[in-house]
Structure 1
Amino acid sequence: MPYRVTGLSVLNFGAGWERVPGDEDVAARVMIFMADRRLLFGDRHHSDERECVGSAHAIRRFLTEQIIEAKPGKTLGQRLTLLREAARNFVDRGGSDAADFRHDHLQFGLALGDLRAAFALHLAAIAEEFDLDLEYELARLVFPEDEDETEPTEA
């Protein structure tokens, strides 16, 4: 865990230190936050458009805070920026007050699929880079079950 100097005393030869969160801490916070975002994995219905856009706004705000905490120029910050961009794109596609989604349910489904695909890709990479376990719902997003894969039954 990195530390930074917060103060020096010349005559007593002392220094004050403060613990600075590292990218590992930021990555763990992101995984915890995303594991509670039903927008990323829950069943969505045509009446959920406003709530989904609101959730995407909350994700954007959270990611902005985490980007500030991440080390500049490192892959974590870049991935968080791409996640924030995916959330912004989802919001933009929904239009004001999610009106575009409410009038075009196909557009809502496509935008949601794009958002989830981007999050699956980048969250999987973050989990791999920082050796983080994925909570069940996020693991289902990253590693969706193949409906065609069923255990063969003996006749």
Structure 2
Amino acid sequence: MKIPWHKWQRIANRITGFNVPWFGVTWNPPPLERTAAERAITYLESKGLFYAAFRWENPNECYADASEIRDELTRQMLELAKDSHVYRQLDAMRDACRMFRNLLREGNLEKIGYYQELDDKQRADFLLALGALRYGCGQQIMTLAVEYGVDVADHLKASLPSTEEESE
């Protein structure tokens, strides 16, 4: 079986030492996917953007939070193989944050400081964008939690999209 060059390169990048006379190699193993999923979920549990009441959310703070979340997810993705499942889930959440920010910019909402300053159309646009962000990221969080057996804090779990089985 021939191993593709990019996989050899990934292994070579993790080698941190080489011992001789008899032989030896030291290296940093890739992070386990469960650990990566757990780290991502733990980080997201601290972000009110995913669970705070809609009326408490302010567009400019949400805009900044989505940027901060994207940056952190990118940092975590750098430690993972691009073909890993966790990488793809984090990438989907990062895309949801990007789309949320784009929607706020399109509606000129990113600089509005308080929810109460929004007119009816702006409020509807903001709530739709925030709902889409929460739904999109919530699906990825649920997938990571189920597939890797990661517990999700109750305050975040309560805001995740429900499955069809739960709603029946």
Which TM class, normalised by the smaller chain length?
Answer: 0.7 to 0.9
Q: What residue is the counterpart of 1:48 in the other structure?
A: 58
Aligned pair partner of 2:144 in 126, 130, 149: 126
The SS at the match of 1:93 is helix
Gaps of 5+ in 1: 150-155
Identical-residue share of aligned pairs (%): 25
Give the length in aligned residue pairs.
Answer: 143
Question: Is the deviation greater in 3-12 or in 61-70?
Answer: 3-12
TM-score (norm 2): 0.75
Aligned pair partner of 2:39 in 29, 34, 43: 29
Residues 6-45 of structure 1: per-residue CA shift (max 9 Å, x gap):
1112224233233432211211111111001101010133
Q: CA separation in 1, counterparts of 2:23 and 2:149? A: 40
CA RMSD of aligned residues (A): 2.4
Q: 1:97–1:143: structure 2 CA closer, same or farther, 3 Å change rule?
A: closer
Tell me how far 1:130 sits from its aligned partner.
0.5
Gaps of 5+ in 2: 1-10
Q: What residue is the counterpart of 1:153 in the other structure?
A: none
Q: CA separation in 2, counterparts of 1:15 and 1:134? A: 38
Aligned pair partner of 2:155 in 122, 126, 137: 137
TM-score (norm 1): 0.81
Q: Which has the higher contact order (CA 8 A, sep 6+)?
A: 2
